Amino acid sequence: MPRVAIIGAGPSGCYVAQALAKSRPDAEITIFDALPVPYGLIRYGVAADHQGTKSVIRQFERLFERQGIGFAGHVTLGRDVTLEALRDAYDAVVLATGLSQDRGLGIAGQDLPGVFGSGAVTRAWNGFPGEPVPQIGRRVVVIGNGNVAVDLVRILAKRPDEFHGSDMALDPGAGVEEITIVGRSRAEAAKFDPVMLKELGRLESCAIAVRDLTGEGKIVEALQAIDGHAPEGARKRLTFRFGLVPTRILGSDRVEGVAFADGTSLEADTVLTAIGFDGAPGWAPSEDGVLGPGLYAVGWVRRGPRGTIPENRADAQTIAARIAADLPQGPGRPGLVLAGATDYAGWLRIDAAERAAAPEGRVRAKMTDLAGMLRLARQTGEH
């Protein structure tokens, strides 16, 4: 049988496996991941209070539990196995690693203490092993005009009880008093989802003001609808600003504010950036997903950092069709068994332990200690 290795157990990797399992049921498919847990972006990159988005995991569970897809966790490409070794051992190798490097602002002061990228912040709030939890101050400026920026401000604006039903273990906004979300473009050109803006209008302890509002359209209407939201006893204030181009992060030893091209400046002790992601050095987007004989790319690592989870599903199906056509019939290459890799049964033990440890009002208490996760994943029935 032909053998396929997929590098990355996030949505793109799982969607490729799902499509291939249907079109080439004769293929043996293994999904590798650097962590001993699957689901990548869904587990660590989707906002912790958006459990509905994370529910796509349920369809991926069927891949491993009913369709015979293998999982090899705690395997890092380059450290535990080389790309060359995988290409020798598998008939097809699919890179589905995504992009995790936050794009910098490209301005003076961007490396000051107190400046954090959205990817790192979201991973930390989601309990990513080894990701330091950022210290958030009283005055926060969020730079970005899309849904990730809205995720950040929503989580900072919430009280602990507003995380009911999530897996949020922290209270990131505990000391926050003022949040300003800033975009370079005018309001009508912002990339917000109106549904997510409407969600802000249900915050129970944060007042909202919208400034610089121009134009028309659904986004402008959604902003108008939440402008002036003022729940009784609100302890935090969220302000939207538009048409401001940041030119410098102010401060010497740490962040003190942000300066903009029109001469405006905002005081801040924390700056969060949500302006996209960059690829790892040496990787470039691929137009057709084919990087070489038997080597493919899918998702953000193929197209760049754009597209939602459903859009990545369509991309994965396209690449899977190409792989299915390229795979040989009959016997394939031998595959690999890597010493030290964890398996899906190990993930199920971690999953069960997290659910059992969930405090009241939460769906799980994520393990954040990699060594502890590995010990649990590698347990056998004799222990």
Q: Please check whether residue 237 is in contact with residue 207, taking contact to mean a CB–CB distance below 8 angstroms.
A: yes
- In this prediction the pTM is 0.92
Distance CA 285, CA 303 (A): 5
Nearest to 277 by CA among 298, 299, 296, 300: 300
Beta pairing partners, 258: 249, 266
Minimal CA–CA distance to 355: which of 57, 103, 91? 57
Q: How far apart are CA 96 and CA 283, in angstroms?
A: 12
Closest CA to 174 of 145, 208, 133: 133
Tokens representing residue 224 in the block: 């108008």
Q: Which residue has the tokens 């966790």?
A: 73
Tokens at 178, concatenated: 């003022």
pLDDT of residue 303: 72
CA-closest candidate to residue 72, choices 109, 31, 108, 123:
31
Q: Residue 288: its pLDDT value, please?
A: 78
Q: What's the one-letter identity of residue 268?
A: A
Model confidence pLDDT, tens digit, residues 195-221: 999 999 999 999 999 999 999 999 999
- Give the per-residue pLDDT at 383: 40
DSSP, residue by residue, 99-154: --EEPP--SBTTTSTTEEEHHHHHHHHTT-TTPPPP---SEEEEE-SSHHHHHHHH
Rounded CA Rg of the chain = 22
Helix orientation angle between 11-23 and 57-66, rounded to the nearest 10 degrees: 50
Q: Cβ(331)–Cβ(128) under 8 Å? A: no
Residue 110 corresponds to which tokens in the numbers above? 């961007």
- Which residue(s) pair with 70 in the sheet? 30
Residue type, 162: E
Please list the ranges in the chain whose pLDDT falls under 50.
281, 382-383
